[in-house]
């Protein structure tokens, strides 16, 4: 039973890291990245749908994204959704698709992006610590119910802390890597 709690704890922490990587992918780092559009959704027959489900997205050049909807009647909706998402670009509609041309990032843009990923990293660390707290509460309850001994409780608390340290270190490494990617000219 305590081993399954440890495994569940590690699994939850791993999912938190994966969620952080998805969030990092939405932050611009100099090159055009289709993942920046993941948060942009349109109303497609009454259902909020991400753009990548209603259109093909390609990167013809390092500073451009081209969106070609499967249904050309969606061009106006996609254009409005991109404006509303405030991506910092003006969509150019050519009648077949929408071209997004990203200007070179300024020093100020880069610093804002770094602040953004720093906040994401800190939020992820808080989530990891909350997972640690939940696991330790499980173990304390088990000790109170006499399912495990006091020594076992200390052992499992140490194991959970080791997991927490491992994953917070990974968050720091991922942050530094993304920061380097953003600040690289």
Q: What is the pLDDT of residue 40?
A: 86
Range 34-101: architecture per CATH? 2-Layer Sandwich (3.30)
Count the Cβ atoms, other than its own, within 10 Å of residue 80: 13
| Residue 56 vs residues 35, 52, 166: alpha-carbon distances, Å | 12, 6, 38
**pTM of the shown model:** 0.77
Would you say 164 and 132 are in contact if contact means Cβ atoms under 8 Å apart? yes
Count the Cβ atoms, other than its own, within 10 Å of residue 131: 22
Q: Which of 39, 38, 89, 94 is nearest to 64 (CA)?
A: 89
Alpha-carbon torsion (112, 113, 114, 119), positive or negative: positive
Using pLDDT thresholds of 50, 70 and 90, give the confidence band for residue 185.
Answer: low
Q: What residues contact residue 156 under an 8 Å CB cut-off, 6+ apart?
A: 2, 5, 6, 135, 139, 148
pLDDT digits (tens, 9 = 90+) for 54-67: 999 999 888 899 99
Alpha-carbon torsion (170, 171, 177, 180), positive or negative: negative
The H or E element spanning position 46 is none
pLDDT digits (tens, 9 = 90+) for 105-150: 888 888 988 999 999 999 999 999 999 999 999 999 999 998 989 9
CATH of domain 2-26+106-183: 1.10.132.20
pLDDT digits (tens, 9 = 90+) for 21-53: 988 887 877 777 888 888 888 888 888 988 988
- Helix, strand, coil % over all residues of the chain, rounded to 5: 65, 15, 25
Q: What is the pLDDT of residue 142?
A: 92
Q: What is the mean pLDDT of residues 169-179?
A: 94
Count the Cβ atoms, other than its own, within 10 Å of residue 182: 21
pLDDT at 182 over 90: no
Q: Which of 11, 34, 17 is nearest to 177 (CA)?
A: 17
Would you say 39 and 26 are in contact if contact means Cβ atoms under 8 Å apart? yes
Q: Which of 161, 172, 134 is nearest to 17 (CA)?
A: 172
Q: What is the pLDDT of residue 120?
A: 94
pLDDT at 95 over 80: yes
Give the domain ranges of the chain: 2-26+106-183, 34-101
| Residue 144 vs residues 135, 139, 148, 160: alpha-carbon distances, Å | 14, 9, 8, 18
């Amino acid at each position: 039973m305590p081993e399954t709690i440890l495994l569940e704890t590690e699994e939850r922490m791993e999912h938190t890291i994966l969620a952080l990587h998805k969030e990092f992918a939405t932050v611009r780092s100099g090159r055009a990245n289709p993942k920046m559009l993941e948060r942009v959704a349109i109303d497609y027959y009454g259902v909020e749908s991400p753009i990548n489900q209603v259109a093909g997205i390609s990167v013809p050049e390092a500073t451009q994204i081209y969106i070609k909807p499967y249904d050309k009647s969606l061009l106006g909706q996609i254009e409005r959704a991109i404006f509303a998402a405030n991506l910092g670009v003006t969509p150019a509609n050519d009648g077949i698709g929408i071209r997004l041309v990203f200007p070179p990032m300024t020093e100020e843009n880069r610093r804002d992006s770094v602040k953004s990923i720093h906040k994401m990293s800190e939020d992820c660390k808080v989530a990891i610590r909350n997972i640690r707290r939940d696991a330790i509460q499980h173990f304390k309850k088990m000790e109170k119910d006499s399912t495990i001994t006091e020594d076992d409780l200390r052992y499992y608390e140490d194991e959970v802390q080791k997991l927490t340290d491992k994953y917070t270190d990974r968050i720091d490494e991922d942050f530094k890597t993304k920061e380097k990617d953003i600040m690289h000219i």
